[in-house]
Amino acid sequence: MDMKYDFGMVGLGVMGRNFILNVSDNGFTAYGNDLDPEKVNALIEEGGDTSKVNASTDSKTFLEALSTPRKIMLLVPAGKIVDMVIESLLPNLDEGDLIIDGGNSFYTDTDRREAYLAKKGINFFGAGVSGGAKGARKGPSIMPGGNREAYQHVKPIFEAVAAKYQGEPCVAYLGPKSAGNYVKMVHNGIEYGLMQLTSEIYDILKKGADYNNDELHKTFDAWNKGRLQSFLVEITSEIFEQEDDLAEGRLVDQILDKAKQKGTGKWTSQNAMDLGIPVPSIDIAVSMREISALKDERIEADKLYDRPKVEKMDKSTMEKMAEESLYFSFIITYAQGLHQLADASKEYGYDLNIAEIAKIWRAGCIIRAGLLADISEAFEANPSLPNLLMSPTFVEKVQGTVDSTRELVAYGAKNGIPLPGLSNSLTYFDAYTSSRLPLNLIQAQRDYFGSHTYERLDREGIYHTEWEKE
């Protein structure tokens, strides 16, 4: 084959096909590979001009079509399939070629693959891609991590295809090893939290103030034009307008209340516990998806217990409280996720730039929001900021909204409306901003039953007491 293509893509599902077409739209030639001939043909047909976009089911033909060093992206399901694809490519790769895993792989898998391929002279990258199928086609947020020099080969392509925020591409080299996959994992954890919070606000507007779908649409649409401007608030407003094709009324009312998950939120939670970083707004979002899966048990349990009669609230009062509570809890969720990133950066040697990460999340990704511009500025002003709640800018934002959150959480508790995301966000805030917590009693208990020792307020050292009296 005389012509050589700039970029290769293995996996031509919706994400892979859209990403490769995006590459072609931005002036680079691209070649795809998939075992399914229908997907190969669909890409060739949609690409139109095979001198710009082409594809094959044959791995060797695919590799021969690429210019060197080859830049090959994988958009296949995380897990064993990634390893299988790598092994199928290896016999025909040359030293210096670059493989980029664009899926949601667990960060330790990325570290393992990078070390394995480095011994063979092959560069390996984990690059989180956020924005869904539309983002892949029109401009995603891309989070690459790996060898800095190897990134230079793909940098022009990634900067061209990425979403743009005020002209700046939403992609940046994040750090060595699995930095890219790790940042994408925490991005998804934050996403879980924001989605849970949005669903709770929807629930309380409906149950507490009888909002109908048109009112919900208008409310979320108005919020999206203000400080809550974000992709999730925007699509939420649109969801309430969608008519049902299969029945009367709006589609949202016919969707089963069982939320599925692919594991990235759970990974964020588990790893935060390993690091000793509290992320309760993310933890509870994962737990609520698990509770939602117990639909049959929930139906039976609902019959066994009385629920308070909901005291309806004035719409304007409710709307103000709901907007302030959602803004407050969005801030808290971002604060938790970024705290985890900062700690992981030290623990795993990523050397992450939190301000840079907030910048590349401003467009293209699922958690994009106006708030991220303020977050980026806060970390640019103080790169060693331990927590977003310590930023003077955010002190003002939080103090202006926390009282409404207290009222709304209390209202939910009194009326039997579960608000776990809001409650956990508020509790985290109250605990984090308390100079004295009752954990001294826990240390006393631990020392009592297990001689685990304790420290004192009034002097240095480690102490143990014989608590039991003979």
- Cβ neighbors of 402 (< 8 A, separation 6 or more) are 328, 426, 429
b or e along 57-94 (b: 16 or more beta carbons within 10 Å of the residue's beta carbon)?
bebeebbebbeebbbbbbbbebeeebeebbeebeeebe
Helical spans, DSSP H, in 240-314 = 264-275, 280-292, 295-304
Q: Of 238, 133, 129, 134, whose CA–CA distance to 188 is shortest?
A: 129
Token digits of residue 360: 């590349």
Same domain, 258 and 385: yes
Mean pLDDT of 289-295: 95
Same domain, 213 and 292: yes
Token digits of residue 150: 């190897």
Range of the domain at 134: 7-173
pLDDT tens digit sequence for 123-163: 999 999 998 888 889 999 999 999 999 999 999 999 999 99
What whole-number distance in Å separates Cα of residue 213 and Cα of residue 412?
21
Element (H, E) at 220: helix 213-224
> Which positions make up the binding site?
104, 130-132, 187-188, 192, 262, 289, 446, 452
- Grouping H, G, I as helix, E, B as strand and the rest as coil, residue 165 is strand
Total residues found in the chain within this entry = 470
End-to-end CA distance of the chain: 89
Same domain, 446 and 393: no
Same domain, 255 and 393: yes
Which residue of the set 71, 177, 191, 234 is catalytic? 191
pLDDT tens digit sequence for 353-404: 999 999 999 999 999 999 999 999 999 999 999 999 999 999 999 999 999 9
Number of domains in the chain: 3
Mean pLDDT of 38-46: 92
The crossing angle, in degrees rounded to 10, of helices 179-209 and 231-239 is 40
Q: What are the angstrom distances between the C-alpha of 464 and each of 109, 192, 456, 458, 460?
A: 43, 42, 10, 15, 13
Same domain, 35 and 123: yes
Higher pLDDT, 3 or 202: 202
pLDDT at 432: 98
Mean pLDDT of 441-457: 96
What percent of the chain shows pLDDT beyond 70? 99
Q: Of 195, 169, 334, whose CA–CA distance to 261 is shortest?
A: 195
Same domain, 274 and 416: yes
Residue 179 resides in a domain: no
Residue where one domain finishes, among candidates 135, 153, 173: 173
The strand pair at 7-10 and 71-74 is best described as parallel
Same domain, 154 and 207: no
Mean pLDDT of 277-298: 96
CB atoms within 10 A of CB 171: 28
Mean pLDDT of 204-211: 98
CB burial class (10 A; 0-12, 13-18, 19+) of residue 285? buried
pLDDT interval class at 470 (50, 70, 90): low
Mean pLDDT of 231-258: 96
pLDDT at 294: 95
Same domain, 164 and 15: yes
pLDDT tens digit sequence for 327-359: 999 999 999 999 999 999 999 999 999 999 999
Same domain, 208 and 110: no
Residue 70 resides in a domain: yes
pLDDT at 262: 72
Region of poorest pLDDT, from 11-15, 46-50, 58-62, 380-384: 46-50
Same domain, 118 and 212: no
Residue 2 resides in a domain: no
* Residue 10 and residue 33 in contact, taking contact as beta carbons nearer than 8 Å: yes
Residue 367 resides in a domain: yes
pLDDT at 110: 95
Q: Of 423, 429, 427, whose CA–CA distance to 409 is shortest?
A: 423
Long-range contacts of 294-301 (CB under 8 A, 24+ apart): 295/256, 295/257, 295/258
Residue where one domain finishes, among candidates 144, 173, 202: 173
> Which positions make up the binding site for substrate?
104, 130-132, 187-188, 192, 262, 289, 446, 452
In this structure, which amino acid lies at residue 140? Answer: P
The yes-or-no answer on residue 191 being catalytic is yes
pLDDT at 325 over 90: yes
pLDDT interval class at 455 (50, 70, 90): very high
- Grouping H, G, I as helix, E, B as strand and the rest as coil, residue 30 is strand
The strand pair at 123-130 and 141-145 is best described as antiparallel
Residue 106 resides in a domain: yes
* Residue 422 and residue 439 in contact, taking contact as beta carbons nearer than 8 Å: no
Residue where one domain finishes, among candidates 173, 194, 212: 173
Q: Of 110, 136, 106, 135, whose CA–CA distance to 123 is shortest?
A: 110
Q: Of 205, 239, 200, whose CA–CA distance to 426 is shortest?
A: 200
pLDDT at 241: 97
Same domain, 411 and 286: yes
Higher pLDDT, 415 or 47: 415
Average pLDDT over the chain reads: 95
**How would DSSP label each residue in 180-207?**
HHHHHHHHHHHHHHHHHHHHHHHHHHHH
CATH at residue 149: 3.40.50.720
Q: What are the angstrom distances between the C-alpha of 215 and each of 103, 209, 245, 315?
A: 38, 11, 21, 10
Residue 178 resides in a domain: no
Token digits of residue 21: 């077409």
CATH at residue 464: 1.20.5.320
pLDDT tens digit sequence for 402-438: 999 999 999 999 999 999 999 999 999 999 999 999 9
Mean pLDDT of 251-262: 89
Residue 121 resides in a domain: yes
The yes-or-no answer on residue 407 being catalytic is no
CATH at residue 236: 1.10.1040.10
Residue 127 — φ and ψ, nearest 5°? -130, 105
Residue 271 resides in a domain: yes
pLDDT at 1 over 60: no
Same domain, 301 and 398: yes
